[in-house]
A and B are shown apart, each in its own frame.
Chain A
Amino acid sequence: MGGMSTTHTLVIPSATRYLAKVRRFITVHARQAKLREKYLKEVRLAVDEACSNVIEHAYQGKTDEKLQITLTIHPTQVIICIRDRGRPFDEEAYRKPNVVELSRKRRSGGLGVDIIRRLMDEVEYSSEGNRNEIKLVKQIHSSSE
């Protein structure tokens, strides 16, 4: 891909209290890159959901592990990679959630992956050894629109 791109990295402990820090990280760098507010909000929510899932499911609540988040802003897309060393996400076992059904079952979880898929243009999970990576891609249009 042509044009300039910049990458920023944040490492956080695997605890939900750091999610606000992740959102600030996305906000600051996306604003610097003059990303439109609409995209910024969508990317920020998707990254929050992905990190929340890593903390809850990959690390199963262990708070002394780490997550690495890299944000790369290209002229036409934003790419975020979230890396962890926990339990890999089982894409085959994933079922799209139904809010009515979940409410009847009094379930509070299971919406995050659906939100990520609805907001991002590409979502890719990969695992190698004990390293997992979630790659999120959002196509962006000119900020002068």
Chain B
Amino acid sequence: MSNFSVAFRDSGSTTILTLRGELDAHTAPELESAIKKCRDEGKTQLIVNGHDLDYISSAGLGVFMAFIEDIRTLDGDIKICALQPKIYDVFDLLGFPRIYHIVDTEEEAITLFEQGIQPI
């Protein structure tokens, strides 16, 4: 039994991945498969909604690091939104907000895609 899940939803040309539960070394492979599936289906405008994510460790952060280069090479991006402050703090600890778009809402993330704005 896993205390983590990923749900997919398409919104125009973007795909929204809604994370729920606890993302650690045990559950990170589930997020990895989810992002891999999107990439293999040619979906590269990805928005990760972390509103219901209750916990993240470096194994979870590592999934973003493992895929961001591939996804950006395919003219896509992974944008992260709606993180609870305690989860944002973990991303912030290692400087992720400098490299990844981390915004408050899905709408903001969609707007960034529409405007073609990439981080860095």
Residues of A within 8 A of B (CB): 16-17, 19-20, 23, 41, 45, 48-49, 52, 55-56, 97, 99-100, 102-112, 114-115, 118-119
Contact = CB atoms under 8 A, between A and B. Distances in A.
Contact of A99 (B32, B63, B94): B94
Given A102-B65, A109-B59, A111-B58, 13 more contacts: A49-B57, A52-B25, A56-B25, A99-B94, A103-B69, A106-B65, A106-B66, A106-B67, A107-B62, A107-B66, A108-B59, A108-B62, A112-B57
B38 interface: no
B96 A99 contact: yes
Interface in B63-106: 63-70, 86, 90, 93-96, 99
B69 A114 contact: no
> Is chain A's interface secondary structure helix, strand, loop, or mixed overall?
helix
22 contacts: A16-B25, A17-B26, A19-B25, A20-B22, A23-B24, A41-B86, A48-B25, A49-B58, A52-B57, A99-B95, A102-B65, A103-B64, A103-B69, A105-B69, A107-B65, A108-B28, A108-B32, A108-B62, A108-B63, A108-B66, A109-B58, A111-B94
Interface string B19-57: 000101110100010000000000000000000000101
Contacts of A49: 57-58
The 5 closest A-B pairs by CB, nearest first: A108-B62, A16-B26, A111-B58, A108-B66, A52-B25
Interface residues of B, number: 28
A102 B69 CA distance: 10
B61 interface: yes
